[in-house]
Structure 1
Amino acid sequence: MLLHIVARGKIGRSPEAELVVRYLKRISWPTKLTELSERAALPPAPPSSVTVLLDEKGKALSSMELAKTLEQWRDRGTREARFVIGAADGHSAEERAGADLLISFGPATWPHLLVRPMLAEQLFRATSILANHPYHREG
């Protein structure tokens, strides 16, 4: 299953961008990063995909819960999981309504430049959990 991060705005050359690349390289599953302009419409979802919006109103998943969710999607034949990071104003009501899942990194407000590496790390952690890799230490 492809893990696809879709982010509005450009990250450029920055320490945050380096972290994103570092974590995406560690993931054994196929990955992709797409940057959209701040006002660009979200491309239509490919067949057999799920769309996850990172949203302040979303559910805060533990790393284990994220891993179990990815496992369920993978096992049912999902070909792509798109994780969409919005622009400064977040997502439209239409995008929220069309999403399969809304997730949050808690009640704090995070800069978009930090959300990308945080998401990449959590995807690495979740896939490591599923591979029984010792990176994640539960409890």
Structure 2
Amino acid sequence: MRITIISVGKWRRGPNQDLFNTYTKRLSWEVRLLEIQEGAKLQVSQRKNQEGIKLISALPDKAKVVVLDQSGKAFTSVEFADNLRNWRDIGDRELAFIIGGADGLHRNVLEKANLILSLSSMTWPHMLVRAMLAEQLWRAASIINNHPYHRL
């Protein structure tokens, strides 16, 4: 399975990046991170539109699209793993996860989603969300492969 994480903003060296790298290196799945430049100093609606166009254009062809948004569906780690397993089993080999910027996502991005996923009803810094997603991907892979990382 190939996973593309498309996220607004550029890494700044630090613990969030280290944590992201720690978990993605553990995965047997190919993971790539595409960083979209934050929108220029525009009004929020214009910036979200500009970022949305870039996010959508970065989507891999035929990818199952998962958009991370506070309004999305919350899963347990096991339910998330079940979704990934089911997609894999029906032949979906390309997954794309979209993480918006500080102002959220344009509605056009949400409309592209096969799934809108919420990691929490709380608001998190989008750079931290990258690390949180990487950990949940590793946890899901562990669940799928009966690895002892995930304990009930």
TM-score tier, shorter chain, comes to over 0.9
Which protein has the bigger helix share? 2
Counting aligned pairs with the same residue, the percent is 47
Query: Mean alpha-carbon deviation: is it higher for 17-26 or for 106-115?
Result: 106-115
Residues in 1 aligned to 2:101 and 2:69: alpha-carbon distance in whole angstroms = 11
Between 37-46 and 9-18, the greater mean CA deviation after superposition: 37-46
Map of 1:20 onto structure 2: 20
SS in structure 1 at match of 2:64 = strand
| 2:32 maps to amino acid | K
Which residue is equivalent to 2:35?
Answer: 35
Which position in structure 1 is the counterpart of 2:44?
none
Residue aligned with 2:133, SS: helix
One of 54, 58, 67 as aligned partner of 2:72: 58
Q: How many residues align?
A: 138
Q: Which residue of 2 aligns with 1:71?
A: 85
What is the RMSD computed on CA atoms of the aligned residues? 1.2
Give the TM-score, by structure 2 length.
0.86
**How far apart, CA to CA, are the structure 2 residues paired with 1:44 and 1:7?**
10
Question: How does the TM-score come out when normalised to structure 1?
Answer: 0.94
In the TM superposition, residue 44 of structure 1 has moved relative to its aligned partner by 5.2
The structure having more radius of gyration, on CA atoms, is 2
Structure 1 residue ranges without an equivalent (≥5):
none
